[in-house]
Amino acid sequence: MIIVTGGAGFIGSAVVWYLNRQGIDDIIIVDNLGTSSKWRNLVTRRYVDYVHKESFLEQVRNNAVDYSVDAVIHMGACSSTTERNADYLMENNYRYSTILARWAVDRGIRFIYASSAATYGDGSRGFSDDDAVTETLEPINMYGYSKQMFDLWVLRNNLQETCAGLKFFNVYGPNEYHKGDMRSVVHKAVQEIEKTGEMRLFRSYRREYGDGEQRRDFVYVKDCVSIIGQLLNNKDRNGIFNVGTGRARTWNDLVSAVCRAMNRETIIRYIDMPEEIREQYQYHTEAATDKLQTAGLAGVHYSLEEGIEDYVKSYLMGEERCLER
């Protein structure tokens, strides 16, 4: 049995999609559906059961998981970079993860978890996933700090030798429609361009970056789940790895790629960035990918243009709202 926490969410449901395509449906989905629409991500998926995240945590704490578990793919977390309830993030993102990881590792269960590029803060310390660098990072929002706390816990307990963590950079792709403001700019751009004929981007507030020239490492969700699949099949490949293309691209590049996929003229209007996020804004992210390659894991397949074309044409402007069967 494979446990996928956050299995109805963006990356989690894409993991289930990937597993189903490999002929695997011996899966337990752990999540908190609440009143969100992310349940739609499960409609075409094959799995054995759904368990609420608190019920599953209680089973783990009471040693009451009464089925054989081969792997835990822990994607469940609050992923909002603007969440201000620090106690909630500590319990939901950090404490929950420590309990689940210890339970899995003590039983020899494969444990793969989601970290985040938000741990790199303002990027002044670079984007190396070397463990020595990880220990020096200073996130600039509480979400990133909750992920950093767990990465440090893994290192302090030497679990980087027995489990795999993935620092996802800017992920975009199918199944993110329910994320509200946390949706990728690709998803937002298609809706805004269809409605207004143009896309708004934040002005730059640093001289070395022009408007829209702020850079991110954008990675397609299909590449992310492919890497998870490789880790699932190679239990000796462990550590904390960056997951990105290794090439930073501008927001202008992204919007141009979206417009090209939509067969629209590229029209961009630059607007003021809200003052409350200016001090937390990352102007440049770029994953160092040598550690992933040294581990013998294949990196990304899709370029920015290829990923956006697939996403926009096959999903956002196609008949499939979610990942296909």
User: Which residue segment(s) compose the domain that 25 sits in?
Assistant: 2-169+220-244+286-301
Within-domain flag for 175: no
Residue 319 has a pLDDT of 58
Within-domain flag for 88: yes
Within-domain flag for 306: no
Whether residue 179 lies in the annotated active site: yes
Within-domain flag for 156: yes
Q: How many domains does the chain have?
A: 1
Within-domain flag for 215: no
Which phi and psi angles does 279 have, rounded to 5°?
-80, -15
Residue 283 has pLDDT above 70, yes or no: yes
Distance between CA atoms of 14 and 240, rounded to whole angstroms?
A: 21
Which tens digit of pLDDT belongs to each residue from 148-189? 999 999 999 999 999 999 999 999 999 999 888 889 999 999
Q: Which of 33-37, 51-55, 320-324 has the lowest mean pLDDT?
A: 320-324
Whole-prediction pTM = 0.94
CB atoms within 10 A of CB 197: 10
Within-domain flag for 310: no
Percent pLDDT > 70 in the chain is 98
Which tens digit of pLDDT belongs to each residue from 228-281? 999 999 999 999 999 999 999 999 999 999 999 999 999 999 999 998 888 778
Residue with tokens 């829209």: 212
Distance between CA atoms of 293 and 243, rounded to whole angstroms?
A: 11
Across the range 34-57, mean pLDDT stands at: 95
DSSP H or E segment with residue 51: strand 49-52
Within-domain flag for 41: yes
pLDDT, averaged across the chain: 94
- Annotated catalytic residue within 113, 143, 220, 311: 143
Which tens digit of pLDDT belongs to each residue from 140-149? 889 999 999 9
Q: What CATH number is attached to the domain comprising 89?
A: 3.40.50.720
- Annotated catalytic residue within 50, 179, 188, 291: 179
Smallest CA-to-CA distance from 249 within 281, 214, 203, 291 is with: 214
Which residues are CB-contacts of 73 (< 8 A; sequence separation ≥ 6)?
Answer: 2, 3, 4, 5, 12, 15, 112, 113, 228, 232
Residue 280 has a pLDDT of 75
Within-domain flag for 31: yes
Across the range 80-93, mean pLDDT stands at: 84
Residue with tokens 């767990």: 150
Residue 320 has a pLDDT of 59
